[in-house]
């Protein structure tokens, strides 16, 4: 049995498309290994990674798609997936889908009932990115996120949203250091500890980026593989502290200053998570 791994951060193996290229559908389609590069994962290994319900965010479109992968069968070097696809909350239909693993990177290739083709590659367990191309030749960025099992059992309108807050800090940012080390009771704008212990902090997945210099927050090695798309899409270059709020794979808020937490970020989290004001 092969073990599932997250590849070490490497400047040679990253998702390096530009925002402009994504918008035009011309960026390179690259991925991150989720299996050891020298391994040969079998049917059971790939099933554990892929079988489940995936939410697909296409470009900036409000309505998401759902991909349900039910089973996988190995055919030579490829895997054929039994899967259904459709708009979230709609009536999904069976679609053709193939999966390939090369040097630990997993690639999906599927065609929707309307004839649109989606090609995506792994950025980490539960997270893929790539493109959708319509029959008319239009191309959009596509982000695929595995839906938690407990949410799959609920109707779409009742499913919990996947809310992530990316905090961009820098080693030479005094404000960042004060906020990270703020004493309990100082309030969310002055204490990371206070923020994370509040209902809003408990409702999100908190991710921290520590850049060496606040003038270069796009410093690539500081960004984990599964968040590099955030760096590229927001075109983050400088300035800390910064807070980027992501909901179901879509960036909804990008704000500077710790004061933006109670002013912008926390009200949005309360709204998204259904917390009382």
Structural domains of the chain, with CATH: 19-151 (2.40.128.120), 161-273 (3.40.30.10)
Read off the pLDDT band of 7 (50, 70, 90): very low
pLDDT, tens digit (0-9, with 9 covering 90-100), for 65-124: 999 999 999 998 899 999 999 998 888 999 999 999 999 999 999 999 999 999 999 988
Largest CA distance in the chain: 60
The tokens of 90 are what? 């709609």
CB 2 within 8 A of CB 36: yes
Torsion of CA 66, 68, 74, 78, to 10 degrees: 0
**Residue-wise pLDDT tens digits, 156-196:** 544 557 889 999 999 999 999 999 988 888 888 999 999 99
């Amino acid at each position: 049995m092969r073990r599932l791994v997250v590849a070490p951060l490497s400047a040679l193996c990253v998702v390096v498309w530009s925002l402009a290229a994504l918008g035009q559908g011309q960026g390179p389609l690259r991925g991150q290994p989720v299996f050891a590069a020298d391994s040969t994962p079998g049917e059971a290994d790939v099933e554990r990674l892929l079988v489940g319900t995936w939410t697909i965010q296409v470009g900036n479109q409000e309505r998401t798609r759902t991909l349900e992968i039910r089973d996988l069968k190995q055919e030579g070097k490829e895997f054929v997936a039994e899967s259904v696809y459709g708009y979230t909350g709609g009536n999904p239909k069976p679609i053709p889908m193939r999966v390939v693993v090369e040097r630990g990177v997993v690639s999906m290739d599927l065609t929707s009932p309307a004839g649109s083709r989606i090609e995506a590659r792994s950025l980490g367990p539960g997270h893929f990115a790539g493109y959708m191309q319509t029959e008319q030749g239009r191309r959009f960025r596509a982000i695929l996120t595995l839906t938690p099992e407990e949410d799959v059992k609920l109707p779409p309108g009742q499913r919990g949203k996947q809310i992530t807050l990316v905090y961009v800090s820098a080693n030479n940012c005094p404000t960042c250091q004060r906020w990270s080390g703020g004493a309990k009771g100082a309030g969310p704008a002055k204490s990371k500890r206070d923020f994370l212990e509040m209902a809003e902090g408990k409702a999100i997945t908190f991710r921290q980026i520590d850049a060496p210099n606040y003038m270069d927050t796009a410093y690539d090695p500081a960004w984990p593989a599964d968040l590099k798309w955030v760096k590229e899409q927001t075109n983050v270059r400088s300035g800390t502290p910064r807070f980027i709020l992501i909901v179901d794979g879509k960036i909804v808020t990008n704000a500077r200053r710790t004061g933006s937490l109670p002013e912008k970020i926390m009200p949005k989290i309360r709204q998204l998570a259904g917390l009382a004001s």
